[in-house]
Chain A
Amino acid sequence: MGYKAKFRVWRGEGGEGQLEDFTVEVNEGEVVLDVIHRLQATQVPDLAVRWNCKAGKCGSCSMEINGRPRLGCMTRMSTFEETETITVTPMRTFPVIKDLVCDVSFNYQKAREIPSFTPPKDVKPGEYRMQQIDVERSQEFRKCIECFMCNNVCHVIRDHDENKPAFAGPRFLMRIAELDMHPYDELDRKESAQEEHGLGYCNITKCCTEVCPEHIKITDNALIPMKERVVDRKYDPLVWLGSKIFKRSGV
């Protein structure tokens, strides 16, 4: 059975704007993105919203629904009361282009700052031989759909814009962890994780894990293990001494 839902949607360009109220028809089985599309089709033809797959796999329709970072296409209308007013705003951490569409170029810039996979020079593509247990950890991180909700919700840059130059955000610290744990990656990424990409800013409050639509355990499996690797390198005198005596690395 359909009903009329009350929506408050952010409208505006370049950050200036306001929340506007609408009443929109909702049908059984619909998600928030469906309702946004109906709003666009019937009342506000110039409403800007980024979307693509409608299946929770492209990471395009990240928005904040009732203040929580969510994918519009994966948020069922049945999770709300029919009488509830649903507030939809753009991601708060990134500059707004128009309405619900953000400029997420911060993330692409951070991605470029991370050196790519660096295999040994004498191993050619096609010659990699790895056991499943050696790559399992990294594979979890490859599920990332780059919706950037983890970077959006992280208070380090959400509440402190001035930290953006120094902090790569959970998504890219996870990328560093993925490469650092890779059996064939030769680059030492521990020092740079801390000094250049701001791992020390993370205070492990786990919001990135809470909002991840792919249910990646970002904090427990990427950020904390990476913090521990940094401790090995920078803060643990015993490990430092052991590495000098036994000359071990990359085990």
Chain B
Amino acid sequence: MTQTTAESPTSKQRAQLKVRTLRTDRWWLVPALTFAGLMSFLIYGVWAIFDKSYFAEPYIAPFSSPCLATSCPEGARFLGLAPFGDWYGLPPGLLILGLPGGFRLTCYYYRKSYYRSFWLSPPACAVSEPHKKYSGETRLPLIIQNVHRYFFYLAVVIGAILAYDAVLAFRDEHGNWGHVGLGTIILVANAVLIACYTLGCHSCRHITAGRLNHFSRHPIRYKAWTFVSKLNARHQQFAWASMYSVMIADLYVRLVAKGVINFPFA
């Protein structure tokens, strides 16, 4: 038979380059900035969860919303509910922390960012990772990442509650409608960014119509998929923007609650 391809080398070896990478650009900068950005969010989050100044009528800090504990002030309770009873004495934010936290933790974009910046797997493209073995998301614990769509469903609920909080922010501290303060604008901007991030999720894209093979048979779902795909193309940007907007909104409400910022401008 005629041989049409080059013979394989006798010793099937890669080029024996001894260096981790030959990249000459600042490949470490993006993972370093990502690490710093995510760490700052985590540190703020831990502080915020245990900080008690989370409500200043009519604003509620996003990290503590919905407020479901009996310890929540009357006006802060979501729809007036306190389903957890007196036995629950921990910060109310802890009750709901896992929902948006799980959504971001299993998000396809955040997975990329922390696999790169925290686990260095790999730290950057064409830069060797330090681990001897790699099994990816084929086994426990990382196979649990496949639960992402369930966190998406829960994140939609949380996003709707934050939008509801933003609507309530159009009232003043006495409950009269028509107020528009800096806090109102911040909470509305946060709700919009959270919605763009949540609806641009890869799981949402799959659920709307991504799982279909015949878009033409499902025109409405296809339209929804087209819309979600546009958001999805900017998922990374919305991930960062919404992460910082929720942090800024949360901090702002706490500053109002602590009396650092006062009405009527608040």
Interface residues of chain A, those whose CB is within 8 Å of chain B, are: 10, 12-17, 64, 66-69, 84, 87, 89-90, 92-98, 101, 103, 105, 131, 133-134, 153, 155-156, 158-161, 163, 180-183, 185, 198, 200-207, 210-211, 220, 224-225, 227-232, 234-236, 250-251
Contacts and interface: CB of A to CB of B under 8 A. Distances in A.
A96 B15 contact: yes
B202 A228 contact: yes
Contact of A95 (B13, B112, B222): B13
Interface in B115-158: 115-116, 121-122, 125-129, 131, 133-139, 142-143, 146-149
Interface string B27-40: 00000000000000
Interface string B218-254: 1000100000000011000000000000000000000
A158 B17 CA distance: 13
Interface of B: 5-17, 21-25, 108, 111-112, 115-116, 121-122, 125-129, 131, 133-139, 142-143, 146-149, 202-203, 205-206, 210-218, 222, 232-233
Contact of B129 (A69, A92, A155): A155
5 closest cross-chain pairs (CB), A and B: A15-B13, A67-B22, A67-B23, A200-B138, A207-B125
15 contacts: A10-B17, A12-B15, A67-B22, A67-B24, A68-B126, A69-B126, A95-B12, A96-B13, A133-B215, A159-B134, A205-B122, A228-B202, A228-B203, A234-B146, A251-B217
A14 B148 CA distance: 44
Contacts of A183: 213-214
B122 A207 contact: yes
A163 B112 contact: no
Contact of A205 (B10, B13, B121): B121
A92 B149 contact: no
A103 B12 CA distance: 8
B126 A153 contact: yes
A109 B213 CA distance: 28
A227 B134 CA distance: 18
Contacts of B202: 220, 224-225, 228
A210 B126 CA distance: 11
Main secondary structure of the interface of B (DSSP, over half): loop
A17 to B, nearest CB: 7
Contacts of B143: 200, 235
A160 B134 contact: yes
A155 B132 CA distance: 12
Nearest to B138: A200
Contact of B125 (A17, A181, A210, A232): A210
Contacts of A133: 215-216, 222
Contacts of B10: 14
A202 B22 contact: no
B214 A134 contact: yes
A101 B15 contact: no
A250 B137 contact: no
A183 B115 CA distance: 34
A101 B6 contact: yes
A251 B214 contact: yes
Nearest to B132: A160
Contacts of B7: 97
B203 A103 contact: no
Contacts of A160: 133-134
A131 to B, nearest CB: 4
A97 B9 CA distance: 5
A103 B7 CA distance: 9
A203 B9 contact: no
Contacts of A159: 122, 128-129, 131, 134
A111 B136 CA distance: 22
